[in-house]
Amino acid sequence: MPDSSPIRFCIVAGEASGDLLGADLINELQQIYPNAIFEGIAGPHMQAAGCHSLFPMETLSVMGLIEVIQHLPAILNVHKKLIRHLKKNPPTVYIGIDAPDTNLRIAKKIRDTGIKIVHYVSPSVWAWRQNRVKGIAKSIDLMLTLFPFEAAFYHKHNVPARCVGHTLADSIPFQIERQPARAQLGLAHNVPVLAILPGSRKGEIERHAPIFLRTAKACAAELPNLQFVVPMANQARAKQFEALWQEIAPELPMTIIIQNSGLALAASDSVLMVSGTATLEAMLYKRNMVVTYKVPALTFAIAKRLVKFKYMALPNLLSDERLVPEFLQEDVHPDNLTRHVLFQLTQPAAFEPIYQQFCELHKQLKQNASAIAAAEIKSLIDKTR
């Protein structure tokens, strides 16, 4: 006799991007399982979609080796309590969204309970510590990846995996005009706009914003009418950036907006940004970009012994070629950044072949990700009920 009890999902996200993915996935799963119960670790979007959060998501939102060590007691405390809860109240499926240090550790601890385990958003095993794939294979039932090259890596190691594409590729149109966004932001229509994205975390802004502001000053010296738009993750990060702006380049016309990177990208001619998911968003908006990343010196010294990657910017990773310039650590210098930003702003014709490749990559990633992910999870459940 089929099991008629409600499907219970535990979904754990560790940061804002995972919260968005989780909310879209919950909406799709609710179409399949209207009476399903959702709990886990959720941000505001997952909670609005109906997920009860057992612990604050912010506890897990820590980046960098040194930073994680500093917050390790609080993180491990959440892990311990969540594992205990799952063993006492086993869900039908545990879905870890990104946050591999949390989700794969918990998956290993609950593997013997009979809970089906899905990991959504692959950790970068193809870039560093590839031997982790053996542990992943033993800990999960299904890996849902965002990018085709990730699924291919797992198939090579006999791990069940499916590339579902990316929700950003589903939601962002193939063509986006600049003028409506500029009108909304009060920017001039016929003057170039540089979007500045120095990161969403306090440490990222500390390391990148001063360099980006000095780059902006140098670019404005060559293009006096240049306009700047700066999307910030929240008011705290906006205040942090504004203090640096007033200290380093108060004369520059900066338009700061909150939680709307898409509007900033739509308005821009070029983007100066840190590496991360935002580089994918810029690619989907078909905007040229200069990509950087700096981490604390000790973190970098440790990481460079472990990390093996050809590129860090997602457009370069997806195409397996250097479509956009990227700079790491000591190379993140105003001279380097200014040279490339000015070239992009003054030589737009050079972007045409890159634009065409961005369009092709967009088509590859536009797969209705959340619906495919939900269908794969349903298939997993159907095999065991």
CB under 8 A, 24+ apart: contacts of 186-189: 186/255, 187/227, 187/229, 187/255, 187/267, 188/225, 188/227
Collect all residues with Cβ–Cβ distance below 8 Å to 279 and sequence separation of at least 6: 273, 289, 291, 313, 314, 315, 324
Would 171 be classed as within a structural domain?
Answer: no
Cβ atoms of residues 286 and 255 within 8 Å: no
Would 311 be classed as within a structural domain?
Answer: yes
pLDDT band at 308 (very low <50, low <70, confident <90, very high): low
pLDDT band at 61 (very low <50, low <70, confident <90, very high): low
Are residue 87 and residue 107 in the same domain, yes or no? yes
Question: Is the pLDDT reported for residue 335 higher than 50?
Answer: yes
Measure CA 67 to chain center. Answer: 19
What is the DSSP-derived secondary structure letter of residue 57?
G
Would 373 be classed as within a structural domain?
Answer: yes
Regarding pTM above 0.75, the answer is yes
Question: Is the pLDDT reported for residue 63 higher than 60?
Answer: no
Would 289 be classed as within a structural domain?
Answer: yes
Q: List the beta strands (DSSP E) in 178-285.
A: 193-197, 227-232, 254-258, 270-274
Are residue 154 and residue 220 in the same domain, yes or no? no
pLDDT tens digits, 17-35: 889 999 999 999 999 999 9
Are residue 132 and residue 33 in the same domain, yes or no? yes
SS3 call for 187: coil
Q: List the domain range (segments joined by +) for residue 126.
A: 8-165+367-382
β partners of residue 256? 230
Are residue 373 and residue 346 in the same domain, yes or no? no
pLDDT of residue 329: 84
- Tokens at residue 131, please? 């031997």
How many domains does the structure of the chain reveal?
Answer: 2
Are residue 125 and residue 17 in the same domain, yes or no? yes
pLDDT of residue 301: 59
